[in-house]
Amino acid sequence: MDQMAALELRSVDLQSPRNNKEHHTQEMGLKRLIVRRGQSFVLQLHFNRSFHFGKDYLTFVAETGPAPMELLGTRATFSLTQARKGNVWSASDFTTDTNSLLVSFFTPASAVIGPYTLKIEISQGQGHSVAHPVGTFILLFNPWNAEDEVYLPSEILLQEYIMMDYGFVYKGHERFITAWPWNYGQFEEDIIDICFEILDKSLYFLENPSKDYSQRNDPVYVCRVVSAMINSNDDSGVLQGNWGEDYSRGVSPLEWNGSVAILRQWSARGKQPVKFGQCWVFAAVMCTVMRCLGVPTRVVSNFRSAHNMDGNLTIDTYFDQNAEMLPIQKRDKIWNFHVWNECWMIRKDLPPGYNGWQVLDPTPQQTSNGLFCCGPASVKAVREGEVHLPYDTPFVYAEVNADEVIWLFRNGQAQEILVHNTSSIGKEISTKMVGSDQRQNITGSYKYPEGSPEERSVFMKASRKMLSPRRASSPFLDLLGCRGSQDQPAQLQLHLAKTPEWGHDLMLKLHARRVPDRVHPRGPIRLVVRFSAQALLHQGDTREPLWRQTVHLDLDFGEEIQWPLLLPYENYRNKLTDEKLIRVSGIAKVEDTGRSLLVLKDISLEPPHLSIEVPKRAEVGKALRVHITLINTLTVALSNCMMVLEGSGLIDGQIYNNIGTLVAGHTIQIQLDLYPIKTGPRQLQVLISSNEIKEIKGYKDIFVAASRAS
């Protein structure tokens, strides 16, 4: 019998369009093979002759990382078999057709993620084997697979937390929450490569590349590495933070529209940190990276977020008798808002019951095991006060649960507690609602209702774990456990008389009501109320007062007074930060007792609104006319106006338009054509910045249809 010719590999069809669609990666493109672990994919191998199973032997080798080893899980060797055997690398379920072989490949749900090379070794019997390159592919986490540690059993949630490439970041103040549109853009063609560049620049990789790669099968490890790499405090991370007000050497954090431009700049400029970011930028970029890698991720905002560095679960704030909030010497602060991520995963490193959403915070605040990163901390562990569970749970717990103590500072020392707030921190914890542009309040997943027995019980449990035994038995905990308010003869509140707009005078009303107390059960009282207004910075600091006023009030028992207050535009015109927040404080002194009362009002100034209209149906490749209108409702001109448009699937990169000066009271109308690139739901983000106001933002949801044959 004639000996068969040696089997030789002539070509390979990676079947990328078919495989990528089945693996939910088609949005990343159809030219490269991008698959998810724990799910089979097919390749077609073309030979010089027909393949004979039992006579021709095929062995495949898949490798990733700098020094692949089977022991480390970065190299897999497996032979062609007729049927798959369990959750291991395999090539099976093949069909032959003339000189071609269609093979089903399977990767285990615990495989290392990353770029792989695939080789084939061909032999006949015990004879010499010949190796051929088959091709390359990228392997990602698979939240569609029940065996994967990031499995999320809901198609609706997967469409939101993996497939949605735009969303909102919530900013501002608990009473003035602003939805900022953001272009995540995780499916732009080069973003997947940049994500792996980020992992390859981490200190873990640089210290021990083989060990680092071998741990990339673990979502806890990967998200922790990414959390450290989004900031640049320890490494060649993506973003450099800047909480000052001088952004002349980079881009103001307020002027970013999305993650794509940031990631591309970092990659293109030799992995130099991009200037500048603050918490919402760090978290939004991390969301892009984690969704791209296949980990369900969302962006979460916590309003009045405690930055509790000493772990004592109280944040102290100081006012002088003129109602001026004093500079904070300690690092403990209350941020107006703070933004972090939640990633969905199983926590095999924790006791049962702590799977699901985990807090990851890439903003550099404090070190964790020597690096500036935070998490993953189980949201369930935070809610239950299980602060001993890794990672960084005490810090996250304090962000949403710390108590606020406000002191009157006199003669060089804190002399009187004005307020002890047990419920003023961790407000309106927010994320984008699934399948909607609305905001979802998820405070209840972080803590029990404020004031409930469960909430105080959890607080006491966490306090005893976080404080040393010496302090845990001190009067400090007795103070935390009591909820009684101070006995005061009057109630004071500040209200806005009309909507506050930047560029206009601010109208407020002081509501004062006489109530009985032990010292003055029914008689009249006299109050001297000193007011101060200060620019409020994002991290909770304030500037020098920009307005002061003193009011004298006589209150009879049961009487209620409304006193008008005017804060002129000229007082704050050049005194605010880009965030346009003002804190108005009042300290009332009861004349015959010397006791003090505090009243506070934070004001967020509304910028002008822009409108975006798209009157016609959007189709791929067809001109789409967009109408953008901005009315300058201010009493001053907006100078040096720059417009930036962005939107994955609508625009490749960004469109810039210098629109000059917009005179007070005037309207500017801009028309331009876009040529949509991808089908499906898309979002156009528009930012107009000027010297006077950095952030006039708008968005438009656009559904793009496939092109109709002409």
Q: Tell me the catalytic residues.
A: 279, 338, 361
CA distance 20 to 187: 12
Residues with Cβ within 8 Å of 339's Cβ and at least 6 positions away in sequence, in order, are 169, 170, 171, 279, 280, 282, 283, 284, 299, 300, 301, 302, 363
Distances (CA, A) of 330 to 275, 307, 396, 466: 27, 11, 19, 19
Rounded-to-integer distance, Cα 602 and Cα 508, Å: 11
- Bridge partners of 236, per DSSP, are none
| Residue 522: partners with Cβ closer than 8 Å, 6 or more residues away | 516, 557
CB within 8 Å of 346: residues ≥ 6 apart: 149, 150, 151, 355
What does the DSSP assignment read for 12-78?
EE--HHHHHHHTT-GGG-SSS-EEETTS-EEEEEEESS---BTTEEEEEEEE-SSS--GGGTSEEEE
H or E, element range at 126: none
Kind of pairing, strands 403-410 and 314-319?
parallel
The alpha-carbon radius of gyration of the chain (Å, integer) is 30
H or E element: which one contains 191?
helix 191-200
Q: 3-class DSSP state for residue 268?
A: helix
Burial 400-439 (b: 16+ CB within 10 A, else e): bbbbbbbbbbeeeeeeeebbbbbebbbbbbbbbeeeeeeb
**CA–CA separation, 531 and 512 (whole Å):** 14
Identify the CA nearest to 297 among candidates 340, 254, 258, 256. 340
How many Cα atoms sit within 13 Å of 385 on the Cβ side? 17
CA atoms in the 13 A half-sphere facing the CB of 237: 28
- Exposed, middle or buried, 621 (CB in 10 Å: 0-12/13-18/19+)? exposed
- Per the CB < 8 A criterion, the answer to whether 62 and 32 are in contact is no
- Please, which residues have CB within 8 angstroms of residue 598's CB and are 6 or more apart in sequence? 319, 323, 406, 418, 419, 585, 586, 587, 588
Cβ atoms 553, 531 nearer than 8 A? no
Q: DSSP letter string over 75-92?
A: EEEEEB-SS--SSS-EEE
Residues 587 and 550: their CA atoms lie apart, in Å, by 10
Angle at which helices 279-293 and 191-200 cross, to 10°:
100
Residue 679's DSSP bridge partners are none
Nearest by Cα to 120 from 191, 61, 49:
61
12 contacts 135 by C-beta, under 8 angstroms = yes
**For residue 163, what is the DSSP state?**
I
